[in-house]
Amino acid sequence: MVFSLDSVAERLGLDSSSPLLQTALTHSSYAAEHEVESNERLEFLGDAVVDLAVADLIVTSYPDLNEGTGSLVRSRVVNEAALARAARAINLGPALRVGRGVIKENGAERPSLLADAFEAVVAAIYLENGYDAARTFVHAALAKDVAAASLEPGQVDPKTRLRQWAEASGRGTPLYSVLSEGPSHDVTFVATVVLGGEIVATGEGPSKKSAEANAAHAAWRARVDA
């Protein structure tokens, strides 16, 4: 796909010269090198807007899902992998302003960075054009993921699955601790999951969320020995 900032902006319903869009496309690595604002504050706001928009879609389009299954569907859609796919679908990666280290490592295509940028541009849409515009964009971007997740709402994410099993079997609630390794432009997160005061598994990933999910999956696979 040939990159064009104008085409990306058009799909977002924003002008390519919009200051909000420019900030939404600015990773912290670029911001530090050029002394400009990063997209982290917009990401924080966008996270809440995406959550609300997806919940809105579930409630209005899937009346058979109750609160519990609706929450599971949302957790399978509002996550790093799904948001990164949505970002790639609109060719968001090449539009991002990233630092030299990230460019060197082709880090603009990291799922964690793309997912954060997706939330940031949603916030930019929200602030510039209002909630209805942001909701319409999120629905269009994630409708297929919501539809797929709603077909099998019982399939839960690894952390939820592990917690449900651990609590039902009397092992208590899993506790996670996360450490980071490597340079700022290429960080690897290592998560440890503890059950009953004992370390039962570890997992790695490019973000805290993915590391915890991988640790939970490893703990789930090893549960027969727990």
* Mean pLDDT, each 10-residue run in order, the chain (226 residues): 79 95 95 94 96 95 84 84 92 91 75 93 98 98 91 73 86 93 78 92 84 85 64
From the list 43, 116, 119, 212, the catalytic residue is: 119
**Which is catalytic among the residues 47, 80, 128, 212?**
47
Catalytic site includes residue 152: no
Q: What is the pTM of this model?
A: 0.71
Domains annotated for the chain, with CATH where assigned, are 5-151 (1.10.1520.10), 158-225 (3.30.160.20)
pLDDT computed for residue 40 by the predictor: 95
Structure tokens at 75: 């957790």
pLDDT score of 1: 47
What local confidence, expressed as pLDDT, does residue 226 receive? Answer: 44
pLDDT value of residue 125: 98
Q: Is 167 annotated as catalytic?
A: no
CB proximity list for 13: less than 8 A, separation 6 or greater: 125, 129, 133, 137
Rounded distance, CA 75 to CA 181, Å? 27
